[in-house]
């Protein structure tokens, strides 16, 4: 009320948790977020992804590339752990914003066309490791895979620096409804087929425990559905949409 002091009411009965997506995607690579160096975390994620690929036959002729920009350091970490080199084979238009938060598919498709441009000389006849930070709907990544394939790539292996996004966020991140999240309804093989890649691997949730200093202080609910506060009737308590489940 007017002329009365503000009163803040907070529930500290449960431990406060940080959004791990800040480290994976939103934060600048030169930031220190929640006492973690973002570029260092992303490089460690990339190194862990390469550990999954010891049998893939990555060699000095393999192209390691990022879907810029948030996965650049993940791809660098992968490349530094492998015999291959990192190449910027995909250029990004920095005047186009994030595509997964666009309100409809037409705008997302237009955003991809305007946002990315491949350099064909990097890909002709090559095995390509394409590193991205996450898969939300899968439509953006499928278009990028097609771009790289049409540029002459022989094989495209997609590596994702986060686990499968299977749940919506109720705590402030503008994620789609759960039915729009491709990993909530499709298996890894089905997603691989949908994005038209030769293979697909995700970062495992459990492996973040070996990377983060304070693993238990982070929220992984969009990956494991372990919400700190139950999403039941959550829209009645906040301004979150009621169709997120």
In this prediction, residue 101 carries a pLDDT of 46
Contact status, residue 38 vs residue 28, Cβ threshold 8 Å: yes
User: Among 2-6, 120-124, 186-190, which stretch is predicted with the lowest mean pLDDT?
Assistant: 2-6
Share of the chain above pLDDT 70, in %: 83
| CA dihedral sign, ordered 158, 164, 168, 171 | negative
pTM score, whole prediction: 0.84
Of the two residues 95 and 128, the one the predictor is more confident about is 128
Q: Which CATH number fits domain 18-237: 3.30.470.10, 3.40.50.720, 3.40.50.2020, 3.10.20.30?
A: 3.40.50.2020
Torsion of CA 55, 141, 171, 106, to 10 degrees: -170
Looking at residues 173-194, what average pLDDT do you find? 90
Q: Where are the domains of the chain?
A: 18-237
Q: For residue 237, is pLDDT > 70?
A: no
In this prediction, residue 233 carries a pLDDT of 61
Contact status, residue 49 vs residue 62, Cβ threshold 8 Å: no
In this prediction, residue 63 carries a pLDDT of 97
In this prediction, residue 12 carries a pLDDT of 56
3-state SS of 40-87 is: HHHHHHHHHHHHCCCCCCCCCCCEEEECCCCCHHHHHHHHHCCCCEEC
Question: pLDDT per residue over 67-111, tens digit each?
Answer: 999 999 999 999 999 999 999 999 988 766 555 445 555 555 566
Rg of the chain, C-alpha, whole Å? 19
Looking at residues 186-201, what average pLDDT do you find? 98
User: Among 118-127, 141-150, 169-178, 189-198, which stretch is predicted with the lowest mean pLDDT?
Assistant: 169-178
Q: For residue 244, is pLDDT > 70?
A: no
Q: For residue 245, is pLDDT > 50?
A: no
In this prediction, residue 3 carries a pLDDT of 76
In this prediction, residue 171 carries a pLDDT of 80
166/179 Cα distance (integer angstroms) = 9
Question: pLDDT per residue over 213-222, tens digit each?
Answer: 989 999 999 9
Question: pLDDT per residue over 20-75, tens digit each?
Answer: 999 999 999 999 999 999 999 999 999 999 999 999 999 999 999 999 999 999 99
Q: Dump the DSSP string for the chain.
A: -TTS--------SS---EETHIIIIIS-TT-EETTEEHHHHHHHHHHHHHHTTTTS---TTPEEEE-TTTTHHHHHHHHHTSSSEE---EEE-TTS--STTSSSHHHHHHHHHHHEEE-GGGTTT-EEEEEES--SSSHHHHHHHHHHHHTT-SEEEEEESS----S--SSS--PPPGGG-GGGTS-HHHHHHHHT-SEEEE--GGGGGGT-TTGGGEE-HHHH---SS--TTHHHHSSS-TT--
Q: For residue 224, is pLDDT > 70?
A: yes
In this prediction, residue 168 carries a pLDDT of 87
In this prediction, residue 111 carries a pLDDT of 61
pLDDT band at residue 231 under the 50/70/90 scheme = confident
90-92 vs 127-132, strand pairing mode: unpaired
Q: Which two tokens stand for residue 27?
A: 């934060």
Nearest to 159 by CA among 40, 50, 24, 21: 50
Q: Which two tokens stand for residue 225?
A: 């559905």
Q: What is the widest separation between alpha-carbon atoms in the chain?
A: 71
Nearest to 68 by CA among 110, 118, 108: 118
């Amino acid at each position: 009320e007017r002329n009365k002091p503000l009163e803040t009411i907070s529930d500290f009965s449960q431990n406060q948790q940080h959004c791990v997506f800040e480290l994976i995607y939103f934060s600048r690579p030169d930031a220190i977020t929640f006492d973690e160096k973002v570029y260092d975390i992303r490089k460690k994620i990339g190194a862990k992804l390469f550990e999954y690929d010891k049998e893939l036959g990555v060699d000095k002729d393999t192209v390691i590339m990022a879907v810029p920009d948030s996965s650049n350091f993940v791809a660098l970490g992968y490349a530094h752990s492998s015999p291959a080199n990192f190449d910027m084979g995909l250029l990004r238009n920095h005047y186009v914003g994030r595509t997964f938060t666009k309100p409809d598919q037409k705008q997302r498709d237009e955003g991809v066309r305007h946002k990315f441009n491949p350099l064909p000389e990097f890909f002709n006849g090559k095995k390509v490791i394409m590193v991205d930070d996450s898969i939300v709907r899968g439509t953006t990544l499928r278009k990028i895979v097609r771009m790289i394939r049409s540029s002459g790539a022989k094989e495209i292996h997609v590596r994702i620096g986060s686990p499968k996004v299977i749940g919506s966020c109720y705590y402030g991140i503008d994620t789609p409804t759960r039915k729009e999240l491709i990993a909530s309804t499709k298996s890894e093989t089905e997603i691989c087929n949908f994005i038209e890649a030769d293979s697909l691997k995700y970062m495992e949730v459990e492996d973040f425990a070996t990377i983060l200093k304070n693993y238990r202080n982070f929220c992984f609910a969009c990956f494991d559905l372990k919400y700190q506060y139950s999403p039941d009737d959550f829209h009645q308590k906040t301004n979150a949409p009621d169709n997120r489940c």
